Every structure is written in structure tokens, then in C-alpha cells.
Structure 1
Amino acid sequence: MYKQNLPIILASKSPRRQELMKSMDLDFKVMLKDVDESYPDDLPPSEIAVYIAGKKAAAFLADSEDTIVITADTIVAYDNEILGKPADEQDAIAMLKKLSGSKHEVYTGVSLSYRGNTVSFYDLTEVYFRTLSEEQIHYYVGNYNPLDKAGAYGIQDWIGMVAVEKIEGSYTNVMGLPTEKLYQALLAI
């Protein structure tokens, strides 16, 4: 059982990450800072997620003296192409057409900062989508909010209930925070 002795800052506006942290019975404050989320073009997907989480953590180093700061970044990779947050509905539709009937990877990089030190890790989940019709894709894009999600979907939404055939790895990782690995990292602090 993790006994929380230190205050925690979750540096994320993601409602899914906040929900997962609450489900872990962690007390935390949300604090946000603007961070450039660009990355070098030659990084593999697993390193991109950790790189961006690390950049976010660097912005909070001064805040990590007596507080644990948690930062994270989730990316979706399809055939080594990074599918970030869609720019608009047409972009979301195009992404979902790519994912339809295929396998893709979800990487979440996490950084924990405490007393000026940062520990980073990532988790990988493979997600298999069944084939979706045009009508189903348009229904999802029109009735849910895919524009704030990497890969244009949330596994906890309607599309996750009807399109995901199976996953290999952590479900919470696909939601944006690999809670099992995070818990172990908190125990190590």
C-alpha cells in the first residue's frame, strides 16, 4: 500500500489522467505550464513519449523540492507514423480510417520529479481495431470529442466499446497513464 507522505502535482489538464489518479486514491493538485511539445524527427515512438514527458518535467524542476511532480505524454503510432491530436474533424476521420481494421501502438511516457531529480519511463500497449464503417467513424467524430486525444479516440468512449477487438498491455496506458508502473515508481521514491 502506497502511503502518501508528500504532496503530488499532476502537471496535466487531461481529465482522464486526473480520473486515473483519483482512482488510485492519490491526493494531488493540478498545475499547468506551457511547454513546447516538439521533438527531434529521428526519435522512435517510445522515446518521443518519454522525451516530451521529460520536457514537461523540466518546466517543473523548481516545484519538485518538497513535492512529487508527475508529467506524462501519450502518443499513438500506426506503422511508425505518429498520430497526435487531430487538427480538426477531417483529420480525426482520416486517423480513424487508418486505425480501422488494424493494429497500432500506444506509448505513454511518464516523468516523476522529486528534489530536483527526475525518473522517466514508458509503457507500450498494442491495440487492435476491428474494421469500422464510414458511418461509424462519422458517428464517433460527430458525437464524441476526438480532437483532444492522440490518435483521435478514447478507449473509454463508445469507439472503445465497439471497435477494440483486443489489447496487449495496459488498458490505463491507452487512457494516458500506466497506473501500474506509476504506482511502482511512487513506491520507489
Structure 2
Amino acid sequence: MEKVKLILASGSPRRRELLAELGYQFEVVTSDAEEEHRSDISLVELCERNAEIKTQAVAKDLPEAVVLGGDTLVYVDQEPLGKPKDLAEAKKMLRRLSGREHHVCTGMCLIHGDRVEAFHEVSSVFFKEVDDATIDRYLEQVHVLDKAGSYAIQEHGDMLIERMEGDYSNVVGMPQRLVDVQLRSFGLQPEGL
């Protein structure tokens, strides 16, 4: 019996690293699907919906493969913060998060043939009070235009973050434990671990 291929429907280098750390063999096929940007549905629903949209876009051409996609959003004041369009918007987002708690949700979706499983993880992140000088230094050191909420916990996160509660890998971009459980439920196993 031929082994089922695992496809990661994401161009995110962070998701690639996190999935590789779990020991799975996979190929990357980037999704070109348009994400929804809505504030009229819950954070969880929006993340899972966007993950499914991205995953479906790749899975439709690869019905024999197991396809995994994801979407991460930062949520503050009941509003989703996606990726900033420029550094001015990034600075505005970081000012808004300063001294506050926010939530990070990653919605994931697995598709194999007719089977579709969407799932998610939510973590809480508490920012330090940060001034404009700290924000400017952070933006000089970290490329944030491809990051929800304009920051990366794994890149100089100590400049901004006081503490976090929940799954660290979720805040990076993919909840590893949950993904591992779900991949195993689809009959996949890590290799060499």
C-alpha cells in the first residue's frame, strides 16, 4: 500500500519548522486563497474558517493527499488583528497591545478526500508597557509585515512580552500537540522518532 502524502498548505516558515519538529515528512504547496476579514463572527470561527478556505484551495487538486492548513490571528477588544499592511500600521498595532492582554488563536484544518477536520488553540499573551522607542527598536530587528498582530514571540519577544499562558507553539503559528493528535487520527505517523 502506498503511503499517503502530507501536504502543508502554507507558505509560513514558522509552520514548516513546527511541523518538521514533530517528525512528519511533508511537502509544501502554498494556498493562494483569500482570507476573510470579519469582526461579526467569533475569533475561533474566523480562524477555523480561514484555515479551511486555505486548505480546501490546495486539497481540491490533491484528493489523495492529507492537506494541512492554518490561520493565526491576534484578537484584542473583540477585534481580529491580522498582518499589518505597512510599518505605520504595525506600530499602531503594537501601541494598542502595549500593557494589555490579548489572545492568539490558530485555526487549523485537515482534509483527506471527503473528511474535513477543523480545530483550534487559543493562548493568552500579556504585553509589557512599551514606549515608542522600544517599538521602533523592535521593528528595526524583526520583519513583522508577515506576522499577525505585528510581532513574533520567538523573535526578540522579550522586548514586548511580559508573559504568556497556553501553548507557546500556537503563538508561533501552529499548535504542535493538537496537530500531532489530529495527524495521527488521519493515520499519519512521524518518521524516525
Distance 2:129 2:39 in 1: 30
Distance 1:41 1:97 in 2: 20
Shift of 1:106: 0.3
- Match of 2:48, as an amino acid? V
Question: Does 2:44 align with 1:25?
Answer: no
Question: Alignment partner of 1:172: what SS?
Answer: helix
Distance 1:139 1:41 in 2: 31
Matches within 5 A, 1:58-69: 58-69=56-67
Q: Number of residues paired by the alignment?
A: 184
- Match of 2:174, as an amino acid? L
| Residues 101 and 128, structure 1, Cα contact 8 Å, conserved in 2 | yes
Distance 2:77 2:102 in 1: 7
| Residues 63 and 69, structure 1, Cα contact 8 Å, conserved in 2 | no
Q: Which residue of 2 aligns with 1:146?
A: 144
Distance 1:145 1:39 in 2: 22
| Residues 57 and 118, structure 1, Cα contact 8 Å, conserved in 2 | no
Question: Does 2:102 align with 1:113?
Answer: no
**Relative to 1, partners in 2 of residues 1:120 and 1:79: Cα closer, same or farther, differing over 3 Å?**
same
TM-score (ref. length: structure 2): 0.91
Distance 1:32 1:146 in 2: 20
Question: Does 2:85 align with 1:87?
Answer: yes
| Residues 9 and 69, structure 1, Cα contact 8 Å, conserved in 2 | yes
| Residues 30 and 58, structure 2, Cα contact 8 Å, conserved in 1 | no
Matches within 5 A, 1:27-176: 27-158=25-156, 160-176=157-173
Question: Alignment partner of 2:119: what SS?
Answer: strand
Shift of 1:25: 1.1
Give the root-mean-square deviation of aligned CA atoms.
1.3
1:141-181 C-alpha deviation (Å, 9 max, x unpaired): 122101110000000011x1232222111000001100110
Shift of 1:60: 2.5
Q: Gapped runs of 5+ residues in structure 1? A: none
Q: Which residue of 2 aligns with 1:181?
A: 178
- Match of 2:169, as an amino acid? T
Shift of 1:6: 2.4
| Residues 39 and 79, structure 2, Cα contact 8 Å, conserved in 1 | no
- Match of 1:134, as an amino acid? D
TM-score (ref. length: structure 1): 0.93
| Comparing 29-38 and 123-132, the one that deviates more | 29-38
| Runs of 4+, deviation exceeding 4 Å | none
- Match of 2:152, as an amino acid? G
Question: Alignment partner of 1:148: what SS?
Answer: coil
Question: Alignment partner of 1:60: what SS?
Answer: helix
Shift of 1:188: 1.1
